A and B are shown apart, each in its own frame.
Chain A
Amino acid sequence: MRSLFLLRKTLVLGALALGFLSVPSFSEDLSPLWQTDLDKATLLAKEQGKALLIVFR
């Protein structure tokens, strides 16, 4: 019974760890959409004729 419990606990913790490791960091996850340098983004918007969407957080 105890070994079954330990096995189940190990599996759950392992799954959680894998899930955690697979969550991308902010930069990996968002880099295609989000700029982080406001001056560069402003130049880019000028070049592309786009408006800026700036999130201050």
Chain B
Amino acid sequence: MSFDGQVVRPDQDLLPLYNEYVCVRVTNMRGIDLNRYRFDFDLTLAVLLMNPDGTIYNRYGGRDHRAADVWLNKPSLARVLRDGLIEHSRYQQSPAPPATRPRKAIENVDAFARKDKGECIHCHSVNPALREEAVSLGNWKPEDLWIFPTPGHVGLELSPTDQTLITRIAPDSPAAICGLRPMDRLLTMGGSGPISTISDVQWALHNQSPASSSISVSWKEQDGKIHTGVISVKDGWKQDTPLAFSWRPSKWGLTPAPGFGGRPLKRQEKKTRGFVESSFAFRVGYLVTWGDQARYGRIAAKAGLRVGDIVTAIQEKGDFRSVEHFHAWWRLTRKAGETVPVDILRQGKKMRILIPVIE
């Protein structure tokens, strides 16, 4: 059973925890107030534990380019469910409802409404529409791309099963300079509520400025001693690599786009063609000659690329980890006016296609 399946059909030992909550499963973002239910909309699974007054106690979910379920497991879920109940009990002693913000639903965002066909709205449709809205209002900044930074951005590595526990600190990183050490446990960060999960950490980091800033943090040592400190980050600290960005479905809306894509070659086909198993190679399955991004596919076709070609390197780079990595790399690093050499195999013959990058 997928982890999502495990979340919605909890084991008998998790059921008593679930029963302490009112459980809701949302599969359609239509009508959902984005100012109230705030999470990383690129995720395929996100959990909020919250008071009905809008106060969010904890978040659960999170992923990276390695896999969708890197941070999803039963021990960490059980822990956050327990922590959420403790926080709920504490909060009820002195409630402090968040300031009311105007309701904002994705179908009321012009950039989305223009394309709205009245169907079910997936979470991953939200970020591209919000970005398009910000661009049209002149509010978009390149650094806005770097949302929900992972703990690695400040030098922290956390345990997947016990996500408050620090397993490694990168040498000379902001966290190391702050004084955090492996086996310490995060308590709070950036003025947020209690940390229980990597999603809580990412939310705390998400709310910090992308410029040089100081992030307050508290933690507990193994012996129980509690510390507070400040993690100092430098300008641009949220920026990440194309690989780290590659899992995000919101990348599809970014431009310039390559205008083509396809499926990676299967292991057997790589073997037959004499490729190393780990090598990058995909068969062009489509040229985007329709919709908003048709210009990219048309220019790739004009340059000579065809459906069925096998792409083996781009800009002499053959170390892409996946087709998604290639897509993120192109969108994040290529600039209009450049020409990108794309190495292909066509009917066993090596060829190089030069594709102009356009706006």
Interface residues of A (CB under 8 A from B): 26, 29-30, 33-38, 41-46, 48-57
If over half of B's interface residues share one DSSP class (helix, strand or loop), that class is named, otherwise mixed; here it is mixed
Residues of chain A with a CB closer than 8 A to B81's CB? 53
Shortest C-beta distance, A15 to chain B (Å), equals 20
B176 within 8 A of A: no
Chain A CB within 10 Å, residue with most, of B8, B19, B46, B123: B8
CB–CB A46/B24 < 8 A: no
CB–CB B9/A53 < 8 A: no
Shortest C-beta distance, A39 to chain B (Å), equals 8
CB–CB B26/A52 < 8 A: no
Residues of chain A with a CB closer than 8 A to B10's CB? 33
CB–CB A56/B22 < 8 A: no
B 14-52 contacts with A by CB, 8 A: 18-27, 29, 32, 37, 39, 43-52
Complex formed: what's the CA distance from A45 to B27 in Å?
20
A38-B32, A46-B52 given as contacts; is B18 within 8 A of A53 (CB)?
A: yes
Complex formed: what's the CA distance from A5 to B350 in Å?
51
Complex formed: what's the CA distance from A41 to B179 in Å?
43
Shortest C-beta distance, B179 to chain A (Å), equals 34
- From B84-92, B157-165, B245-253, B334-342, the one touching the partner chain is B84-92
B221 within 8 A of A: no
Q: A55-B24, A56-B29 are in contact. List 11 more A-B contacts (CB 8 A).
A: A38-B37, A43-B52, A44-B22, A50-B20, A53-B22, A54-B26, A54-B47, A54-B48, A56-B26, A56-B39, A57-B45
